[in-house]
Amino acid sequence: MRNIFLFIKKFFVFFLFLVLQVISISILITYNKTHQAIFSGIANEMTGWVSSKYNDVEYYFRLKKTNEDLAAENSRLRTILAGTLDEPDTTKLSRIDSLLKDTLGRVRKFNFLPAKVVNNSVNHENNYITLFRGSKQGVNTNMAVCGPDGIVGRIVSVSDNYSIVMSLLNHNSKVSAMILHSNYTGIVEWHGSDPQYLELQGIPKSAKLKIGDTVITSNLSGNFPEGLIIGTVTENSIDQSTGNYHLKLKSATNFFTIQFAYLIENSMWTEQKQLESKSIVNP
């Protein structure tokens, strides 16, 4: 014990310098947006690199299951391919790159960018997923993310080669949803109780539904295309404070085993948000 105190006494100035240096850097990053952005990018790169190395080993032992998921996903994509196309308004046409149209003249609104999952959390109150695809590969913040079986979340942070997804298993995640074959919409949230289950709020009790009904993204889901699967209804009850349904959903995405994801690029999202911003500022 005496030697420890002697050692600390001998190098006290050096240790004090390190502590003050850490505090200074922490203050600089906390209160300076430029340094905060630089630090966030470096941290994402380092965390992503370490996670990708660890994931390479884990991924090897799941190759068979991954191949099965990819085959099933390819089959579903071929089936619903027309769902990524929007019909333009015929009252006025604008010139557009012909590569963005199909043979019927429909404009492609959504593009899907594949990405490998290199880190994932499911047991925290606010969970995130790291993808091995970043700004150099066309990723931007607020992009929607789906998996082979259903939606996953949205992009909240991007570095050159990695991106961070705020998954559905996050208290800050909210997605507009509706019961399949119904016009009633509500909000899907997660309250941190079980990574396999989500909650759907806001569906009026006048809506016709039953256990086992499929819940999908609505046309109000922002970056998400309409009709992507979120989950299925497993329990229903009435919220006494609102008089609406309180529905428990079994998540279509298995967040314990997800290995690949698709980032969804909405080519018209920027135009929509700019117009909505102008309308709010100048009603």
**Concatenated DSSP letters for 88-107?**
PPTTS-----GGGB-TT-PE
pLDDT at 211: 93
Are 261 and 166 within one domain?
yes
Taking the C-alpha atoms of residue 181 and residue 234, their distance in angstroms, rounded to an integer, is 18
Are 138 and 49 within one domain?
no
Are 15 and 111 within one domain?
no
Q: Is residue 94 part of a domain?
A: no
Are 210 and 245 within one domain?
yes
Beta-strand relationship, 110-120 and 151-158: unpaired
Alpha helices in the chain (DSSP H): 2-10, 12-31, 33-60, 63-79, 269-281
Domain count, the chain: 2
**Concatenated DSSP letters for 104-158?**
T-PEE-EEEEEEEEEEE--SSSEEEEEES--GGGT--TT-EEE-SSSEEEEEEEE
Are 236 and 116 within one domain?
yes
Mean pLDDT of the chain: 81
pLDDT at 89: 41
pLDDT at 140: 92
Are 108 and 133 within one domain?
yes
112 forms beta bridges with 264
Are 32 and 127 within one domain?
no
Tell how far CA 181 is from the center of its chain: 25
Are 76 and 209 within one domain?
yes
Instruction: Assign 75 a pLDDT band (cuts: 50, 70, 90).
Output: low
The residue range of the domain holding 181 is 54-86+102-268
pLDDT at 90: 39
Give mean pLDDT, residues 194-199: 94
Are 190 and 244 within one domain?
yes
Q: Is residue 279 part of a domain?
A: no
Q: Is residue 256 part of a domain?
A: yes
Are 111 and 202 within one domain?
yes
pLDDT at 223: 83
Percent with pLDDT over 70 in the chain: 78
Taking the C-alpha atoms of residue 231 and residue 141, their distance in angstroms, rounded to an integer, is 25
Identity at 157, one-letter amino acid code: S
pTM of the model: 0.67
pLDDT at 94 over 70: no
Are 132 and 189 within one domain?
yes
In this structure, are residues 226 and 216 in contact, taking their beta carbons and an 8 Å threshold?
yes
Q: 219-258 pLDDT, tens per residue?
A: 888 788 889 999 999 999 888 888 888 999 999 999 999 9
The CATH number of the domain holding residue 80 is 2.40.10.350
